[in-house]
Amino acid sequence: MLEVRELAFSYRKGSAELFDGLTHSFAPGATTAVTGRSGRGKSTLLYVLGLMLRPTRGDVLIDGRGVGRRDDQSRSRVRSNDIGFVFQDAALDPTRTILDAVVEPALYAGARRRDVLPVARELLDRFGVGGRAGHLPGQISGGQAQRVAIARALVTSPTVVLADEPTGNLDRDNAETVLRALRDCATEGRTVVIATHDPFVLDHVDHVLAL
Ligand SMILES: Nc1ncnc2c1ncn2[C@@H]1O[C@H](COP(=O)(O)OP(=O)(O)OP(=O)(O)O)[C@@H](O)[C@H]1O
Ligand SMILES: [Mg+2]
C-alpha cells in the first residue's frame, strides 16, 4: 500500500509549495492517473513517490512505514526493491543495448546478471520487443522504447510502478499497448500511478487524482 500524508514539497526555500498538504492512498491492484495542468507538480509528485525527492512536509508511506523522509541510502534501498519508475520519453541510455537497459535496475538491487537475463528476456517478449534485445535505443521506435522502459521498471518485480507521461509522444495504437501493459501490472497486484494529461489514459484508468 502506497500513501502520502500531509504532503508538501518546494524545490527551494521560499519557492511555491506544491501539493498543499495532500493526503491520499493509492489503491493497490489498480491504476491511478495523476492529472492537473502543466506546472501543478505531476512529475514532482512521481519523484517524491519514487523517493528521488524528499518531502518538505509530510511523508510517503509504503505498507504503513514512513519512507519518504529517510536518508538517501535508505530511500535508495527502498526504491531499488519496491519501486519501478518509467521516465518521461523512456529516457534510455543511448549507448547500451535494450537488454542491458532492462537488466540494469536488478543489478542495482543486488541481483546477479546471469539470474536476471532470463527475466529481462521474458519481459521483453511479453511486451513484444524481444526481437529488439540487441538493438540500441536509437534503433527502435518511440512506442517500442516506451515498452522497453516498462520492462525495465518491472525487472525487480516492484510493488509500485510509477510512469511519467508514458503515452506522451505515442500514436493511439502504441498508447493503447503501453496503457494495456500498465493495466496488466495493476492486475498482477501492483500499485500503478501514471502522471498524464492524455484524455485517452484518463478514460481507461481505475482512479484519477487531480492536483
Ligand atoms: N528542478 C526544479 N527546480 C526548481 N523548480 C522546478 C524543478 N522542476 C520543476 N520545477 C517547478 O515545479 C513546478 C512543478 O513542476 P512539474 O514538472 O512537477 O509539473 P508537471 O505537472 O509535471 O507539468 P507538465 O504537465 O508540464 O509536465 C513547476 O512550477 C516547475 O517549474
Ligand atoms: Mg510533468
CA of 85 to the centre of ligand 2 (A): 14
Cβ distance 64 to 81 under 8 Å? no
What is the CATH code of the structural domain delimited by 2-10+19-210?
A: 3.40.50.300
Closest CA to 2 of 60, 81, 87: 60
pLDDT tens digits for range 40-69: 999 999 999 999 999 999 999 999 999 999
Closest ligand 1 atom to the C-alpha of 47? 18
Cβ(41) – ligand 1 distance below 6 Å? yes
Closest Cα to atom 17 of ligand 1: 43
18 C-alpha vs ligand 1 centroid, how far in Å? 9
For 92-132, the pLDDT digits (tens) are 899 999 999 999 999 999 999 999 999 999 999 988 899 99
Question: Could you give the C-alpha distances from 170 to 72, 79, 90, 146, in angstroms and in order?
Answer: 34, 27, 11, 9
Atom of ligand 1 nearest to the CA of 165: 27
What residue spans define the domains of the chain?
2-10+19-210
Number of helices followed by number of strands (H, E) in the chain: 7, 9
Among 90-94, 132-136, 180-184, the range scoring the smallest mean pLDDT is 90-94
Query: Average pLDDT, stretch 191-198?
Result: 95
Atom from ligand 1 closest to the CA of residue 197 = 25
Specify the pairing of strand 31-35 against strand 191-195: parallel
**Residue labelled with grid coordinates 536476471:** 116
Ligand 1 pocket residue status of 52, Cβ below 6 Å: no
Residue from 44, 45, 201 to probe ligand 1 pocket by mutation (most atoms less than 8 Å from CB) = 44
Q: What percent of the chain has pLDDT over 90?
A: 83
